[in-house]
Structure 1
Amino acid sequence: MTISAGIQPQVQPKNYLTINQLNHSYRAGKPILKDINISIEQPGIIAIIGPSGTGKSTLLRCINRLITPTTGEILFQHSDLVKVQGKALRHLRRQIGMVFQEYNLVERLSVIENVLTGRLGYMNAWQAWRRKFLQEDIDRAFELLHHVGLTDFATQRADSLSGGQRQRVGIARALMQNPHILLADEPTSSLDPKTAVEIMELMDTLAASKGIPTLVNIHDVKLAQRFAKRIIGMSGGRIVYDGPAQGITDSHLKEIYGGESWLV
């Protein structure tokens, strides 16, 4: 799908995700997340910025229920992710794509097999164990490899790829889930500047073409401003800025990161 530059389709607000009064502590009395409130009603990239240790990764892990929040609610697909368990939770989690900082690929498997693992949440245990994928899923996996520019690498082992190529495989795998929302935890932190821009361009294009919101934890503020429609700035486990990417100022950045000697 080709997206014409400068043409932005009119998107009606939709309740993709609502987070209310979310708190999380790994140890009693030491909260990592403090009264987080976020409403996501538009597709596209939303960048989450803030210093290390402020809870950005914890927030994403709460959203996809890799961890269970201490208190609060996460409303997604008419359910509260904090409360659901078992089969209902598995059903909801397969609709939340995740791109990991360290790629999280199965190194000994081929690129196409890694992409196909994005369908495991839709298969029964016997099918998953045998990796018995439907032909339509295989066709879809090859289509996604084409979109991320890795068609020629389909049969190569994952451990033979560069960092940027591995991250592209991770993005394709997440999209194999047909997610309603995509989460990306520091997807560019291990990449050189050129490759980091390419990965952000890819996620921006795919988020627009699929019509889904993409929450990206990112340290590079300029990269966030370049690609995100909205920036959420966190400091000390709280949200201290939530607004347009181009609306963030040096004053906001000082509040988020503290000090000013690092500002250019």
Structure 2
Amino acid sequence: MNNAGNGARPRSLSVENLEKAYRSGKPVLKGISFQVEGAITLGIIGPSGSGKSTMLRCINRLIEPTAGRIVVAGQDVAGLSGTALRHARRHIGMVFQEFNLVERLSVIENVLCGRLGYISPFKAWLRKYPQEDIDKAFALIDHVGLGDFYNQRADSLSGGQRQRVGIARAVMQEPDIIMADEPTSSLDPKTSVEIMELLRQFSRERDIPMLVNIHDVELAKRFCDRIIGISQGVVVFDGPPGELTTSDLKAIYGGEDWLA
């Protein structure tokens, strides 16, 4: 599964001076900059309202950045629109907090939705996928441990199973980066560990960056190679988990009572 060495596209993300303001003069993101490349799991931590989810939504262009550059696999996606943006977004996989599955469709159909950006709208409407895509979808479903559930409707699955489907759908895009927005927030501790293990595994197997917005600091320290801490729209920590100190956590989250 490893894409390293294909020479086609760099598996990388560069965010340069990213700003987002919903109202003039009140920025949510204030000059965010960082770079990631290859098989790295990047944890993004910070309090609610710090701008973590806004940053991910700017990167995949679900919302428009106010300023800055977002370079995915060598292409600045910040200024793209129309067909060019649609093509660029094929290479950005997204795993959502609330799964965002089509509830009435089966597991295999939901995973195949990861290929919608690669087929014509008419074929997408008919759900006519190449056999190669179908074979890959079955292989991914096996890989995430749902081989016995491929024909079940998404609304019949548990939360952990739904998140596995969401991960398989993102990987099905053959992306250059994958971003996960609070992928464990609605899951029990055991399932949360399994989901983080799965995300890290795909990062390493595919040699692609994995960005994970996560509230659980201990999970971030356990599974991430690097952690970025955001507070009030500014990066206040960027480094390996082993360097994240109590003082850093106070700077990120504010106050001391929550650490007691």
Counterpart in the other structure of 1:46 = 42
Segments of 5+ residues of structure 1 without an aligned counterpart are 2-8
Aligned partners of 1:94, 1:155: CA distance in 2, in Å? 25
The runs of 4+ residues in structure 1 deviating greater than 3 Å are none
If the length of structure 2 is used for normalisation, what is the TM-score?
0.95
Aligned-pair Cα RMSD in Å? 1.5
Counterpart in the other structure of 1:240 = 236
Relative distance call for 1:202 and 1:224 in structure 2 (3 A) is same
Counterpart in the other structure of 1:27 = 23
Counterpart in the other structure of 1:102 = 98
Aligned partners of 2:11, 2:191: CA distance in 1, in Å? 32
State the AA in 2 paired with 1:18: S
SS of structure 1 residue aligned to 2:62: coil
Aligned partners of 1:42, 1:183: CA distance in 2, in Å? 14
Aligned partners of 1:85, 1:240: CA distance in 2, in Å? 32
Counterpart in the other structure of 2:112 = 116
Deviations 1:173-216 (A, max 9, x none): 00000001000000000001111011001111111111111000
Aligned partners of 1:41, 1:152: CA distance in 2, in Å? 35
Q: What does 1:50-89 align with in structure 2 at a 5 Å threshold?
A: 50-89=46-85
Aligned partners of 1:16, 1:28: CA distance in 2, in Å? 31
SS of structure 1 residue aligned to 2:128: coil
Count of residues in Structure 1 that have an aligned counterpart in Structure 2: 254
Q: What does 1:178-193 align with in structure 2 at a 5 Å threshold?
A: 178-193=174-189
Give 1:76 deviation, angstroms. Answer: 1.7
Identity %: 63
Aligned partners of 1:37, 1:223: CA distance in 2, in Å? 24
Aligned partners of 1:146, 1:105: CA distance in 2, in Å? 18
Aligned partners of 2:197, 2:258: CA distance in 1, in Å? 26
Give 1:246 deviation, angstroms. Answer: 1.3
Aligned partners of 2:49, 2:213: CA distance in 1, in Å? 12
Deviations 1:2-35 (A, max 9, x none): xxxxxxx9xxxx6711111110011112110001
* Cα contact 1:15–1:39 (8 A) shared by 2: no
Which among 200, 224, 227 is matched to residue 223 of structure 2?
Answer: 227
Q: What does 1:112-191 align with in structure 2 at a 5 Å threshold?
A: 112-191=108-187
* Cα contact 2:96–2:166 (8 A) shared by 1: yes
* Cα contact 2:11–2:209 (8 A) shared by 1: no
Aligned partners of 2:74, 2:132: CA distance in 1, in Å? 29
Aligned partners of 1:41, 1:154: CA distance in 2, in Å? 33
Give 1:43 deviation, angstroms. Answer: 1.7
* Cα contact 2:11–2:207 (8 A) shared by 1: no
Kindly indicate whether structure 1 or structure 2 has the higher relative contact order, using CA contacts under 8 Å at least 6 residues apart.
2
SS of structure 2 residue aligned to 1:58: helix
Aligned partners of 1:65, 1:227: CA distance in 2, in Å? 27
Deviations 1:106-132 (A, max 9, x none): 000001000000000001111111110
* Cα contact 2:37–2:208 (8 A) shared by 1: no
Give 1:44 deviation, angstroms. Answer: 2.1
* Cα contact 2:101–2:110 (8 A) shared by 1: yes
* Cα contact 2:230–2:236 (8 A) shared by 1: yes
Counterpart in the other structure of 1:218 = 214
Aligned partners of 2:165, 2:102: CA distance in 1, in Å? 11
Aligned partners of 1:191, 1:73: CA distance in 2, in Å? 34
